Amino acid sequence: MIELDRLTRTFQLGDEEVHALEDVTETIRAGEHVAIMGPSGSGKSTLLHLIGCLDRPTSGSYRFEGRETADLGEGELDALRQRRFGFVFQAFHLVGRLTARQNVELPLVFAGIESGRRRQRSQEVLEAVGLAHRARHRPSELSGGERQRIAIARALALAPSVLLADEPTGNLDRRSGDTVLDLLGTLHAGGLTVLVVTHDPRVAHRAERVLMMEDGRIARRIPREGLAEALAHWGIEEPR
pLDDT in tens, 10-55: 998 888 888 999 999 999 999 999 999 999 999 999 999 999 999 9
On whether residue 57 sits in a domain, the answer given is yes
Tell me the pLDDT band of 154, cut-offs 50, 70 and 90: very high
Q: State whether residue 35 is helix, strand or coil.
A: strand
Task: Report which of residues 238 and 185 the model is more confident about.
Answer: 185
pLDDT at 240 over 90: no
pLDDT at 80 over 70: yes
pLDDT for residue 116: 96
Cα–Cα distance measured from residue 83 to residue 78, given in angstroms and rounded to the nearest whole number: 9
Cα–Cα distance measured from residue 16 to residue 177, given in angstroms and rounded to the nearest whole number: 39
Q: What is the pLDDT of residues 110-131, one digit of tens each?
A: 999 999 999 999 999 999 999 9
- Smallest CA-to-CA distance from 177 within 73, 63, 88 is with 88
- Smallest CA-to-CA distance from 87 within 40, 32, 57, 49 is with 49
On whether residue 132 sits in a domain, the answer given is no
pLDDT for residue 127: 97
The dihedral over CA atoms of 80, 86, 92, 98, expressed in degrees to the nearest 10, equals 80
DSSP-derived secondary structure letter, 200: -
- Smallest CA-to-CA distance from 53 within 64, 37, 42 is with 64
Query: What's the mean pLDDT in 131-152?
Result: 97
Contact between residue 98 and residue 105 where contact means Cβ atoms under 8 Å apart: no
Tell me the pLDDT band of 152, cut-offs 50, 70 and 90: very high
On whether residue 109 sits in a domain, the answer given is no
Q: What is the CATH number of the domain that holds 164?
A: 3.40.50.300
On whether residue 129 sits in a domain, the answer given is no
On whether residue 139 sits in a domain, the answer given is no
pLDDT for residue 165: 97
Cα–Cα distance measured from residue 62 to residue 24, given in angstroms and rounded to the nearest whole number: 10
On whether residue 112 sits in a domain, the answer given is no
Q: Which helix (H) or strand (E) holds 149?
A: helix 144-156
pLDDT for residue 230: 72
pLDDT at 228 over 80: no
Contact between residue 106 and residue 95 where contact means Cβ atoms under 8 Å apart: yes
Q: What is the pLDDT of residues 179-206, one digit of tens each?
A: 999 999 999 999 999 999 999 888 999 9
- Smallest CA-to-CA distance from 208 within 4, 35, 14 is with 35
Q: State whether residue 62 is helix, strand or coil.
A: strand
Q: State whether residue 127 is helix, strand or coil.
A: helix
pLDDT for residue 52: 96
On whether residue 72 sits in a domain, the answer given is yes
pLDDT at 235 over 70: no
Tell me the pLDDT band of 225, cut-offs 50, 70 and 90: confident
Task: List the domain range (segments joined by +) for residue 162.
Answer: 2-95+158-233
Cα–Cα distance measured from residue 111 to residue 215, given in angstroms and rounded to the nearest whole number: 38
Looking at the structure of the chain, the number of domains it has is 1
In a 10 Å sphere around its CB, with 0-12 CB exposed, 13-18 middle and 19+ buried, how is residue 199 labelled?
Answer: middle
> Which amino acid, residue 53?
C
On whether residue 178 sits in a domain, the answer given is yes
